Structure formats: C-alpha cells, structure tokens
C-alpha cells in the first residue's frame, strides 16, 4: 500500500531557500545595529518636525526615563540571554517602592533599602526555582508571580497610594551632576558592571553558553540551574532599583506605577538585538534599545498626539523588532 504520510519538507516554503553568506551577514548586522541607526533617524526627524524635543528640560526628562527603564531592562536582558523571560518586573518594581516609602518612616532608609533588596532576591529566587528546578514555562511562572506580588501589594497598602518618597531617592532621581542626571549615572554604572561581568568573568561566559545551548552547557559541567536562578535574582533586584528611581522621579507611589514596564523592558531588549531564543545580545544594544523606545514615546507627547498612540508605538516596536530578530535567527540557522 502506498504511504499517505505527509513529508513536511514538501510543504516547507523555505526548504529550498539558501541565502548567500553576504546576505546573512547583512541581516545579522542590521539586527545588531537597528537601534543605533533608528536613533539617528529619530533625531533627524525630531529636528525637522518636533524641535521642542531638544528643549533642555525635555532632554533631562528623556534621560531620566532612559535611566529608569534601562536599569530594569538590563535585568530583563540578562534573563532573556538565558532563554527565559520575567513578566513580574512591573509588580516587583512597584513593591520595592512601596516597601521603602512605607518603612522608611520607622527606621533608616538603609534598612528599608536592604529589606526591599532582600524581598526582591527572594522573588527572583522563586522565579528561578520554578523555571530551572520545576521546569515551569518562564512566562507562566513569572506571570503567576506578577499576579501574586501585585495582590500582596494591594493587600499591604489596602489599595491606597503610599506615602512620601524619601528625600534621598528624590535627589538621586531628579538632581543632576553637572549636566548629567544622577539617575542616568546610576544606569551607566549598572550597565558597565553587567557588561564587565558578561565579557570578562566566568559567569558571563556561562550565561551565553546556557542561552546558546543548555544541553551542551550542562554536558560541559556548567551548573545551568544556578546560572538561570542567578539571572532571575539579579533581574528582580534591578527591578527594585528601577522602582526606587521611578518613585523618586514622580514623587509618589500609586497603584499603577510601572504597569507598562513588563512590555517596555522586553521591547527595548529585543530592539537592542537580544533574542527570545537566548545566547545572543549585549548591554550596549540594550542601552540603544531603551534610548530608542523612550525617544519614540516622548515624541508622541511632544507632538501632542493622544496617549493611545504610545500603546500603539509600543506594540509596533515590539512586533517589528521580534520579526527582525526572528528572521535574523532563521537565516543564521540555515
């Protein structure tokens, strides 16, 4: 009897597609340099159509927003490099701000900060344990943590906005050192530390090895679970730091604080060249992706467009960046 089995290759539209090495290199470079190139294009467009963008006050606002999102996205990038994702960063971000604001009055700000960092580390540990040890899909594990932490925050605050932000956080978030906002310096320090770690330490090499091929990394003797759990812990701690900068910048803590940082941190990392499949990406690209996304969102405000256009912009950037990185990965695998 003649076999009726379907040959998948026969129905694969790209089965005969063999791109030239030059074409593959071109697309790979486009994926790596898309964000810096787009930044230049946006700056030129702003100079023509929205000169108010270059107002010193607006530029300071952009720099602070880049710093806040940048700190969070560095952690998200570290997780993505390990083939994972963290959907709980927005809840952790807000929780840290609530803890510091509500406990600082009863003690020193240092003890409040240490408490917030400890809780963030526990949340990251739980995320990493669920993903690495219990093999729960990262999206499911961290989305569950998002709901849990958000509910705990609502129960703790009873649904009310929190109190006054400590003066130290206000100063770090809005003051400048020379012409540079202090918050931006914090982001640069965090980014430099992580860049050094990824490029010059054994842990950094392990991150790329685990993201590139977890099975091979495990076979080579790398503690894959430990690397993944560590990445989630760092991500949660950096989310707390981002929340502190954000609360200091806006001057208060409310129930919707940081709600869009999940999608924005993922979008910025992907725009910067990090892939969902792990093992590819760097913090230079992340910084460029964050800068591009914040510039685009700020231009919506400068141009006087409806706030709804910001959501459309976020979705468009994420879809286009994901499509480009997906096509880039497809070509590199041929």
Residue 27 has pLDDT above 80, yes or no: no
Residue 126 has pLDDT above 50, yes or no: yes
- pLDDT band at residue 31 using 50, 70 and 90 as cut-offs: low
Residues in contact with 218: Cβ distance below 8 Å, sequence separation at least 6, in sequence order: 224
pTM (two decimals): 0.89
Strand, helix or coil for residue 240 = helix
More confident residue, 70 or 309: 70
Residue tagged 């994702």 (tokens): 85
- pLDDT band at residue 16 using 50, 70 and 90 as cut-offs: low
Is residue 101 a part of any domain in this protein? yes
Is residue 149 a part of any domain in this protein? yes
Residue 18 has pLDDT above 80, yes or no: no
d(CA 82, CA 208): 7
Domain count, the chain: 1
Is residue 210 a part of any domain in this protein? yes
Residues in contact with 153: Cβ distance below 8 Å, sequence separation at least 6, in sequence order: 91, 94, 95, 98
d(CA 29, CA 149): 39
Is residue 302 a part of any domain in this protein? no
pLDDT score recorded for residue 143: 97
pLDDT score recorded for residue 334: 62
Residue 79 has pLDDT above 50, yes or no: yes
Residue 162, φ and ψ in degrees, nearest 5: -80, 180
Rounded mean pLDDT, 146-174: 85
pLDDT score recorded for residue 11: 46
Query: HSE on the CB side for 330, CA within 13 Å?
Result: 11
Which of 25-34, 72-81, 163-172, 271-280 shows the lowest per-residue confidence on average (mean pLDDT)?
A: 25-34
Is residue 275 a part of any domain in this protein? no
More confident residue, 66 or 30: 66
Is residue 194 a part of any domain in this protein? yes
How does pLDDT run across 132-153, given as a tens digit for each residue? 999 999 999 999 999 999 999 8
Residue 141 belongs to domain spanning? 52-259
Residue 310, φ and ψ in degrees, nearest 5: -65, -40
Strand, helix or coil for residue 177 = strand
Is residue 333 a part of any domain in this protein? no
Is residue 233 a part of any domain in this protein? yes
Q: Which two tokens stand for residue 203?
A: 């842990």
Helices then strands, each counted (H, E), the chain = 13, 2
Which of 87-96, 201-210, 224-233, 321-330 shows the lowest per-residue confidence on average (mean pLDDT)?
A: 321-330
pLDDT score recorded for residue 161: 67
- Secondary structure letter of residue 169 according to DSSP: H
d(CA 95, CA 91): 6
Strand, helix or coil for residue 3 = coil
Rounded mean pLDDT, 106-119: 85
Strand, helix or coil for residue 48 = helix
- Secondary structure letter of residue 201 according to DSSP: S
How does pLDDT run across 214-265, given as a tens digit for each residue? 999 999 999 999 999 999 999 999 999 999 999 999 888 877 788 889 999 9
Residue 209 has pLDDT above 50, yes or no: yes
Rounded mean pLDDT, 76-80: 98
The overall longest dimension of the chain from CA atoms, in Å, is 82
Residue tagged 């060249």 (tokens): 273
pLDDT score recorded for residue 138: 97
Query: 173 vs 168, 241, 264, CA distance in Å?
Result: 9, 11, 20
Residue tagged 């510039």 (tokens): 295
Cβ density class 139-171: b for 16+ within 10 Å, e for less: eebbbbbbeebbeebeeebeeeebeebbeebbe
Q: Which two tokens stand for residue 79?
A: 């997780």
């Amino acid at each position: 009897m003649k076999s009726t089995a379907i040959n998948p290759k026969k129905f694969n539209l790209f089965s005969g597609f063999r791109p030239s090495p030059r074409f593959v290199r071109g697309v790979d470079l486009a994926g790596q340099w898309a964000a810096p190139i787009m930044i230049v294009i946006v700056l030129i467009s702003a100079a023509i159509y929205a000169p108010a963008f270059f107002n010193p006050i607006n530029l300071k606002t952009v720099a602070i927003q880049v710093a806040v999102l940048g700190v969070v996205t560095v952690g998200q990038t570290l997780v993505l490099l390990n083939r994972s994702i963290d959907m709980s960063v927005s809840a952790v971000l807000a929780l840290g701000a609530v803890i510091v604001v509500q406990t600082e009055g009863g003690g020193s700000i240092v003890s409040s900060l240490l408490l917030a960092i400890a809780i963030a580390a526990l949340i990251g540990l739980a995320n990493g344990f669920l993903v690495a040890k219990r093999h729960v899909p990262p999206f499911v594990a961290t989305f569950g943590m998002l709901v849990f932490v958000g509910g705990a925050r609502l129960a703790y605050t009873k649904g009310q906005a929190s109190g006054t932000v400590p003066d130290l956080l206000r100063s770090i978030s809005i003051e400048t050192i020379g012409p540079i906002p202090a918050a931006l310096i914090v982001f640069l320090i965090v980014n430099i530390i992580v860049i050094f770690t990824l490029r010059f330490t054994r842990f950094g090499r392990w991150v790329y090895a685990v993201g590139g091929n977890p099975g091979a990394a495990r076979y080579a003797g790398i503690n894959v679970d430990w690397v993944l759990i560590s990445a989630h812990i760092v991500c949660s701690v950096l989310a707390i730091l981002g929340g502190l900068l954000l609360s200091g910048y806006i001057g208060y803590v409310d129930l919707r604080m940081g709600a869009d940082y999940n999608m924005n941190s993922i979008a910025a990392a992907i725009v910067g060249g990090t892939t969902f499949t792990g093992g590819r990406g760097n913090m230079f690209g992340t910084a460029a992706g964050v800068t591009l996304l914040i510039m685009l969102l700020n231009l919506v405000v400068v141009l006087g467009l409806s706030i709804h256009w910001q959501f459309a912009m976020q979705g468009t950037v994420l879809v286009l960046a994901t499509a480009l990185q997906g096509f880039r990965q497809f070509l590199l695998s041929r």
